[in-house]
Amino acid sequence: MARNDRLKESLKTLAAAAFWLLVWQGLSLLVQKPLLLPSPLEAAKRLCALCVTAPFWASIGLTLLRVCSGFCCGVVCGVLLGALTAKSRLMERLFAPLLAVVKATPVASFIILALVWLQKDLVPVFIMFLIVLPVIWANVLEGIRQTDRGLLEMARVFRLPRRKVFSKVYAPSVLPYFAAGAATAMGLSWKAGVAAEVIAMSNSSVGYHLYRAKINLETPDLFAWTAVVVLLSVILERLLRRVIRRMEGRKRNAATA
Amino acid sequence: MLQLRELTFSYLAGQPIFEGFSLSAKAGERVCLKGASGKGKTTLLRLIAGLETPDSGTITLSPDCKTAMVFQEDRLLPWLTAKGNVSLCSDDKAAEDWLRAFGLEEELDAYPSTLSGGMCRRVALARACAVAPDLLLLDEAFKGIDPARKEAILALLKERFRDSLILFTSHDDAEIAAFATRIIEI
């Protein structure tokens, strides 16, 4: 995309965001009760005040650490299980009920169970792991299944070593499925992870501050912390997309060259 | 070098593609498997390559026989360049040499999506040749290559694989006449 086009796109996005901020401002003026709906300006002021405190950054850091830990564990286990179940029908049958249960169980049930089983600081990590695992697992499994049989036959005839079959045939074939799964899982796990922090009241976390804001009826704080959650979610998703784009670089070049 | 004894194979039970097929071939031969479509020429090559298992009969290859195959489809990895595809199965030097030999010196770094059908066939041929096979299986390998180029490629294969066994399928009588040392009707 040309630089001018990119600038135009950014301006359009900013205009849309400005429109919704105006709607929010209008509604807050209409309601006239900051306890129910503070104005964007009030929320921004509160956010600025929070930004200069050390606990604010410590909470963000710890929440990010939990998100990344849960996400990475889920990705690693999801990839391994995807590969294992793609290789063996028996393993797929064995793990299929587990996958179905994890997918169907409400997140709240898992959070409550995790509170019984684990230290409260580990609950969000565990919840994110549970959310990420089935998404990555299903996508990797599908990616392996959709790998071109013709290419695998070619690899067999030419007796390519397993390492090469993995890196040159399977990995590039699975990558688009993995990328789609990772992007979905990141969005889902972030929301579930913050919800787990709220319920578990994990120490020094974004979720804990959301909970405190709710019980102290500090609505501007609630909005400020929610803005932090949204912002971090957008940043994490963009970072993830950038990493995946880099991984896909060679493949994309091949397709568009 | 290659011995097929009483080979029977069917994709669907009770409908054999061929029954009791036998063939013996030695290094230096260029055997053409000829027959109408659906008679099992490709299946036979797949059996020899170890991609299918016969219902009955035996396939015997010399020990340590290095096999390479050009499939009916190019089966090139779209995310690798022409050179990347060939060197996947051999070393870089052999890959480059064969691509040059097949007139692809300008396309070493080109991706399959940017090559013509004939060029992709030549990359697939280069990939098979670069492993220096003892047994070369060519399934309509020259389809889509222009006649002048094809003639040069056939001459090159004859010269470079004098000591290998080549089994090939083709519907082109001129190609068969120019290349085969033996024709087997299926």
- Lowest mean pLDDT of A164-168, A189-193, B156-160, name the range: A189-193
Q: Residue A1: its pLDDT value, please? A: 57
Asked if B127 and A158 come within 8 Å (Cβ–Cβ), the reply is yes
Question: Tokens 């889902």, residue?
Answer: A188
**pLDDT tens sequence across B89-103:** 899 999 999 999 999
List residues of A whose CB lies inside 8 A of any B CB. Answer: 148, 150-151, 153-154, 156-158, 160, 164, 168-169, 172, 250-251, 253-255, 257
Angstrom distances, CA of residue A28 to CA of A50, B20, B103: 22, 87, 73
Q: How is chain A split into domains, by residue range?
A: 41-256
Question: Two tokens at A143?
Answer: 């990616």
The CATH code that applies to domain A41-256 is: 1.10.3720.10
Å from A157 to nearest chain B CA?
A: 6
Q: Residue A144: its pLDDT value, please? A: 95
Lay out the sheet containing B2-9: strands in order across: B18-25, B2-9, B56-61
How large is the C-alpha radius of gyration of chain A? 22
The whole-model pTM stands at 0.81
Residues 102-131 (B) with a CB less than 8 A from some CB of A? 110-114, 127, 131
B140 within some domain:
yes
Percent of chain A topping pLDDT 90:
33
B92 within some domain:
yes
When CB atoms are compared, the residue of A148, A150, A164 closest to B88 is A164
Task: Name the domain count of chain B.
Answer: 1
Residue B153's domain is classified under what CATH number? 3.40.50.300
Q: Give the structural domain span for B89.
A: 29-37+64-185
Among B66, B71, B77, pick the best mutation site for testing chain A contact (most A Cβ within 10 A).
B77
Q: Residue B93: its pLDDT value, please? A: 93
Å from B47 to nearest chain A CA?
A: 11
B44 within some domain:
no
Residue A253 has pLDDT above 70, yes or no: no
Whether residue B88 lies within 8 A of chain A, CB to CB, comes out as: yes
**pLDDT tens sequence across A139-187:** 999 999 999 999 999 999 999 999 999 999 999 999 999 998 998 898 8
User: d(Cα B131, Cα B128) in Å, to the nearest integer?
Assistant: 6
Report residue A250's pLDDT band, with 50, 70 and 90 as the boundaries: low
Residues in chain A with CB shorter than 8 Å from the CB of B89 are 158, 160
String of DSSP letters for A194-243: HHHHHHHT-SSSHHHHHHHHHHTT-HHHHHHHHHHHHHHHHHHHHHHHHH
Which of A22-36, A188-202, B105-119: highest mean pLDDT?
B105-119
Residue A76 has pLDDT above 70, yes or no: yes
Residues in chain A with CB shorter than 8 Å from the CB of B113 are 254-255, 257
Residues in chain B with CB shorter than 8 Å from the CB of A250 are 79
